[in-house]
Amino acid sequence: MESSALLTAWKRDPGLEFLSEVSSVPLQQALRHLQAAFANFFAKRAKYPTFKSRKKSRASAEYTRSAFRWRDGTLTLAKMDAPLDIVWSRPLPEGAQPSTVTVSKDAAGRWFVSLLVEETIRPFDPVDACVGVDAGITSLLTLSTGEKITNPRHERADRRRLAKAQRNLSRTAKGSNNRAKARLKVARMYARITDRRRDFLHKLTTRLVRENQTVVIEDLTVRNLVKNHALARAVSDASWRELRSMLEYKTAWYGRELLVVDRWFPSSKLCSTCGALRAAMPLGVRIWECACGAVHDRDVNAARNILAAGLAER
């Protein structure tokens, strides 16, 4: 690759001195990622690679086994005299040896170290329970058991402070130190919202997967839902797409089954008792009575129908 051969010359360029601050390994890895991105583009598997700004993009460096030392739970990177001072989020699996280390810095100024290891995940013990899940706004999830999980609305809780921080940012002069401080404050608020939301979703999805052998969800088109300006903010805050992604890989990890019901399935309009289908069901109707006499909570009824439809399509 021609760019790889030019790497030595780039390090001598007066405007690119920062390339010499790190080991050559992460630089070579970046070039490999670039090559893979262009290969995927020319093979029509991906869009044209986007420019990664050193200042605006998430800073990251990938170290392969030859560029770091892992010994007795300490990590030392190439060109460093002492191990990194790391607060570990969780211990590595016993006997695991990292094959790749990625160091990154997010927009909020926080540094992270990710270690790639091989791990054998033990599946959960089989259970008999199955659950249907209906996603919503007021209740983030409604289960076929009748349980409703309240939407924490993490973004809404910090909306006033976030708006104030964004107004302060807009008043600062471009390129000034005050603007950099204001931008960092906004980034930290977004990071707080994201971290709280992700923590809540992890705990919720792990609980669903642990307690149920089969989880049935509806195939929601989040991309289309966020086009509705009245719902876009609430839908984004609910983060249904991330919730589904977590359910997908956790069910695969722990030996569970995830079933997805077609998005056009009329889960809300169908009576879960007799199977009668109502002609219409406005969003304002939360409780309704079927001709058979059954009185339904809209969301609980939908979750039960989703469960029945998923199990029927096995």
The catalytic residues are: 134, 218, 299
DSSP codes of every residue in 185-210:
HHHHHHHHHHHHHHHHHHHHHHHHHH
- Cβ–Cβ < 8 Å for 26, 63: yes
CA–CA separation, 170 and 35 (whole Å): 38
- Cβ–Cβ < 8 Å for 310, 136: no
CA–CA separation, 222 and 48 (whole Å): 24
Residues 256, 261, 263, 265, Cα dihedral to 10°: -150
- 30: Cβ–Cβ under 8 A, 6 or more apart, which residues? 61, 62
Residue 191: both structure tokens together: 């990071």
Residue 176: both structure tokens together: 């000034």
**Residues forming beta bridges with residue 135, ordered by sequence position:** 141
- Cβ–Cβ < 8 Å for 133, 143: yes
